[in-house]
Structure 1
Amino acid sequence: MPNKAIIHSDKAPKAIGTYSQAVKVSNTVYLSGQIPLIPETMEMVDGDFRAQAEQVFKNLSAVCEAADGSLQSIVKLNIYLTDLSNFPVVNEVMSQFFQQPYPARAAIGVKELPKGAQVEADGIAVI
């Protein structure tokens, strides 16, 4: 496999399972799902859905930066929501972290997420 590297950032939560924060193959980075854990404490962020969504994007940003990229490097983003009525809030929060052109994206309703999170996001970045 060409140029496979494991990406790790201390500025993002440690893996809570058998996975890496991201894997880089050549110039493509496969980002594992991030939930709203605070990296330093590994506790869920206090607050409402908006606070959780903001923490998710901060965590994704830290992993992208560890791979020598940024959120703007993301070309495909998947967002998992336990309540699809939060879809408009996700859009508002995303507009604070991303600039146009936005990545391709899916919003997927799920029954539950690890540690009781309300939102999780993963993606693919090209560096």
Structure 2
Amino acid sequence: MKRTISTDDAPAAVGAYSQATATDDVVFTAGQIPLTPDGELLADAPIAEQTEQALDNVAAVLAAADASMADVLKVTVYLDDIDDFDAMNETYATYFETEPPARSAVEAAALPKGVGVEIEAVATTDGATDQA
């Protein structure tokens, strides 16, 4: 059965999507951009800071689904400039120090709100309890 995940600890969904959806054992996050839960957009910040905020948002959404970054199976990173890969990767690596998940990183022609990075994740929930 599909569950919708929502938390005030990450930016609210601003369209026809959920912060995440889950089944009994898998959670899929929506793409998270460098937008604070309070609505501050970090589009002009260095890519390392943007990456940190996007991953903090992913972590908050996963926590609402009773999962953590350690449960992440796959990550997709969208960059508006692939030349930012090394700076993104340096920050990213601090979130997955052991047993990192599978990952794709691609350059996108444009990202929402003019940000430099958007990150989505798929994680195992191992039968997490219902969250709405």
TM over 0.5: yes
Give 1:107's match in structure 2, choosing from 105, 108, 124.
105
Percent identity over the alignment is 40
* 3-state secondary structure, aligned to 1:43: coil
Give 1:94's match in structure 2, choosing from 87, 92, 95.
92
Query: What CA distance in whole angstroms lies between the structure 2 residues aligned with 1:66 and 1:88?
Result: 30
Query: What CA distance in whole angstroms lies between the structure 2 residues aligned with 1:32 and 1:12?
Result: 11
The answer to which structure, 1 or 2, has the higher relative contact order (CA under 8 A, 6+ apart) is 2
Give 1:120's match in structure 2, choosing from 112, 118, 121.
118
* 1:99 CA drift (Å): 2.3
Structure 2 unaligned blocks of 5 or more: 126-132
* 1:118 CA drift (Å): 0.4
TM-score w.r.t. structure 2 length? 0.90
May I ask how many residue pairs the two structures share in their alignment?
124
Structure 1 unaligned blocks of 5 or more: none
* 1:91 CA drift (Å): 1.4
Query: What CA distance in whole angstroms lies between the structure 2 residues aligned with 1:121 and 1:90?
Result: 11
Map 1:49-88 to 2 at 5 A: 49-88=47-86
TM-score w.r.t. structure 1 length? 0.93
Maintained 8 Å contact 1:81/1:118: yes
Paired residue for 2:23?
25
Q: Which has the higher strand share?
A: 1
Structure 1 runs, 4 residues or longer, greater than 2 Å off: none
* 1:43 CA drift (Å): 2.4
